[in-house]
Amino acid sequence: MMAALLIWPVIMFGPILAWLLFRSGGYKRLPEEQPSGPGWERTEERFLDPTSGEMLVVWYCARTGERAYVRAV
């Protein structure tokens, strides 16, 4: 009976804990040459990536809410 009570927190929070421990880099992705697919709009947001030293431009897809980081040319 006690084991059954302990298994539910593992089932409920195990995947969340695994995601937190093993995710790589969070939401930010590696810079792309250009965003893939239709519906992308270039924003005015630019920043210097501290890891690579490259200037990146942010593109936004209104349909999905996704952001893409593209190397500035």
pLDDT tens per residue across span 56-71 = 999 999 998 989 889 9
Asked if pLDDT for residue 40 goes beyond 90, the answer is yes
Pick the more confident residue, 37 or 3: 37
Mean pLDDT over all residues of the chain? Answer: 82
pTM, two decimals, is: 0.56
pLDDT mean over 33-54: 89
Residue 57 confidence (pLDDT): 93
Alpha helix stretches (DSSP H) within the chain: 2-22
**Cα(first)–Cα(last) distance of the chain, in Å?**
63
Tokens standing for 13?
């929070």
Pairing of strands 55-61, 40-48: antiparallel
Pick the more confident residue, 16 or 2: 16
